[in-house]
Amino acid sequence: MSLSRLVARPMIAAGIIYLSQTTLRNAEAMAPKAESVTGKVVPAAKKAGVPLPEDPVTLVRINAAVQIAGALALGTGKAPRLGATLIAGSLVPTTVAGHAFWAESDPETRKAQAMQFFKNLALTGAMVVVAGDTDGKPGLAWRARRAAKDAKREGKDLAKAARAEAKLAKAKVS
C-alpha cells in the first residue's frame, strides 16, 4: 500500500466519522431537512421492493451508520473500495437534503449551503475515485474478462484434443 493511501484513507475516514457521529447524535434535528428527500425516496424504494422505514429520524440514523461503517472499512483498509462506495452512496441524499442551497432565500445562508453542497460533491467524487482504486492490483472486471478469455482458450484446447482423439480412434477402427 502506498504512503498516500496509508495516510489519506484514515484522514478521510476520521472526517466522515466525526460528521456522521454528530448527525447520529442529532438525528431528530436533522430529520426535518431529510424529509424532502425521504418523502420521495422511500415510496420509490418500497415500490422496488426495498424495505425502508418511513420515519425520517430512523433514516437519518441509518444513513449516518452507513457512513460510519464505510469510514471504518476505508480507514482500516479492510474493505476500502466497499467503504468508499458506501460513503459515496450515502453522501448523495445527505447532500441533496442537507445543503439545498437553491431553496434558500437569504444570500448568506445560500452561500454557506452552496459551500457545503460543493464540499460534499467533491468528497463524493473522491469516494468514486477511491472505490475504483485497485491499489495496483487487477480489479474484478479485469479478472472476469481474464477468466472468460482463459476459459475460451481452454475450451478451444479441449476441442482440439477431442478432435485429435476422435481421429486416432477412427484410425484404430479402420
Q: Which of the residue ranges 26-35, 53-62, 139-148 would you say has the lowest mean pLDDT?
A: 139-148
CA distances from 28 to 2, 40, 54, 99 (A): 41, 19, 14, 17
Q: How far apart are CA 51 and CA 72, in angstroms?
A: 25
> Which cell is 98 given?
442537507
Residue ranges per structural domain of the chain = 3-137, 138-174
Give the pLDDT confidence score for residue 6 in this predicted structure: 86
Cα torsion 158, 163, 168, 169 to 10°: value is: 100
Q: What is the pLDDT of residues 104-163, one digit of tens each?
A: 999 999 999 999 999 999 999 999 999 988 777 777 777 888 899 999 999 999 999 999
pLDDT(87) > 90: yes
According to DSSP, residue 102 is labeled G
Q: What is the pLDDT of residue 133?
A: 84
Q: CA angle, 101 as apex, 98 and 106 as ends, to 5°? A: 120
Q: Band of the pLDDT at 88, cuts 50, 70, 90? A: very high
Q: Output the pTM of the full model.
A: 0.75
pLDDT at position 93: 92
Reported as a single tens digit per residue, the pLDDT across 163-173 is 999 888 888 88
Work out the average pLDDT over 61-65: 96
CA angle 54, 59, 61 (to 5 degrees): 145
In whole angstroms, give the CA distance from residue 63 to residue 60. 5
Indicate if the pLDDT at residue 65 is higher than 70.
yes
Q: What is the mean pLDDT of the chain?
A: 91
DSSP assignments along 86-97, one per residue: HHHHHHHHHHHH
- The overall longest dimension of the chain from CA atoms, in Å, is 96
What is the full DSSP assignment across 44-70? HHHHTT----S-HHHHHHHHHHHHHHH
Q: Over 90: is that where the pLDDT of 71 sits?
A: yes
